[in-house]
């Protein structure tokens, strides 16, 4: 069934098909393990997407810090889109083997930033997650305007365009939501600290040493107890995202 008119107009069937594929992928992504029991095309696309997403995310931190006058990222070679400068060896290895990983955090000088603006640290922290949201928006536009076929041939080693786009959008939405969790060492901690009273920051100071442990519980333990915090947040953001960009 054709879903794009001769003028290239986006029709409702395209929206429904894209929305169904995206929701299906989101349901899989928010349930670990992230890379088990997947076909070669999906594994390949997820590795490529995560390398792109991590690189742009960290570059965004460096770019905004530099814009606020902190040259620490530039002096450390982080003001670049070269993935080698941003990928952590152990995080990259785990990304391939286990399906989760991390990039090297961008070094900044918070004192230099705060001298320029009280909100500078917040904007530097927010830049990373926002870059993931922007990438998701850019990726969904070809689907929104009917420029990409929803058909995907099964069994190939390389992902079809729609498969890659669906994975790209889903993973970047996940990274947007995940990194905004107010748990150290995630970006969301610095973002929320800007908006809460100074007296309340003492709470975050006390729990900061336990942040990685709390994060492991949220990501790996709570979902198996039926409490999927990240999944619920992602579904909420996804509903808004799809209603805006897919109609």
- Per-residue confidence of the chain (247 residues) as pLDDT tens digits? 333 333 334 444 555 666 666 656 555 454 555 555 677 788 888 889 989 999 999 999 999 999 999 999 999 999 999 999 999 988 887 776 665 678 999 999 999 998 889 899 999 999 999 999 999 999 999 988 888 877 666 556 778 888 899 889 989 999 999 999 999 999 999 999 999 998 888 888 999 999 999 988 998 889 889 898 888 898 899 889 988 988 7
Q: Count other C-beta atoms under 10 Å from residue 197's C-beta.
A: 6
According to the model, what pLDDT value does residue 216 have?
87
Cα 65 to Cα 67: distance, rounded to the nearest angstrom: 5
Q: How far apart are the two ends of the chain, measured CA to CA in Å? A: 20
According to the model, what pLDDT value does residue 158 have?
77
Cα 28 to Cα 106: distance, rounded to the nearest angstrom: 30
Cα 56 to Cα 59: distance, rounded to the nearest angstrom: 5
According to the model, what pLDDT value does residue 152 have?
62
Task: Write down the pTM of the prediction.
Answer: 0.85
Q: Count other C-beta atoms under 10 Å from residue 195's C-beta.
A: 9
C-alpha distances in Å from residue 145, one per residue of 10, 15, 47, 139, 238? 5, 9, 27, 11, 19
- Catalytic residue set: 58
């Amino acid at each position: 069934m054709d879903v794009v008119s001769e003028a290239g107009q986006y029709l409702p069937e395209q929206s429904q098909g894209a929305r169904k594929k995206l929701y299906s992928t989101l349901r899989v992504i928010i349930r670990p393990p992230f890379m088990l029991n997947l076909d070669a095309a999906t594994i390949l696309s997820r590795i490529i997407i995560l390398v792109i997403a991590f690189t742009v995310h960290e570059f965004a931190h460096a770019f905004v810090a530099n814009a606020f006058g902190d040259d620490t990222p530039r002096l450390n070679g982080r003001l670049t889109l070269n993935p080698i400068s941003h990928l952590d060896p152990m995080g990259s290895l785990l990304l391939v083997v286990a399906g989760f990983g991390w990039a090297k955090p961008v070094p900044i000088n918070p004192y230099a930033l705060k001298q320029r603006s009280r909100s500078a640290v917040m904007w530097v922290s927010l830049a990373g997650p926002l870059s993931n949201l922007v990438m998701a928006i850019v990726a969904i536009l070809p689907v929104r305007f009917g420029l990409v076929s929803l058909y995907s041939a099964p069994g190939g080693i390389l992902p079809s365009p729609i498969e890659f786009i669906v994975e790209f959008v889903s993973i970047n939405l996940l990274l947007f939501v995940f990194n905004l969790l107010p748990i150290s060492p995630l970006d969301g901690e610095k973002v929320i600290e800007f908006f809460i009273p100074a007296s309340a920051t003492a709470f975050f100071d006390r729990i900061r040493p336990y942040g990685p442990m709390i994060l492991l519980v949220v990501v790996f333990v709570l979902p198996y107890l039926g409490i999927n915090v990240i999944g619920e947040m992602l579904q909420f953001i996804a509903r808004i995202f799809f209603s805006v960009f897919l109609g």
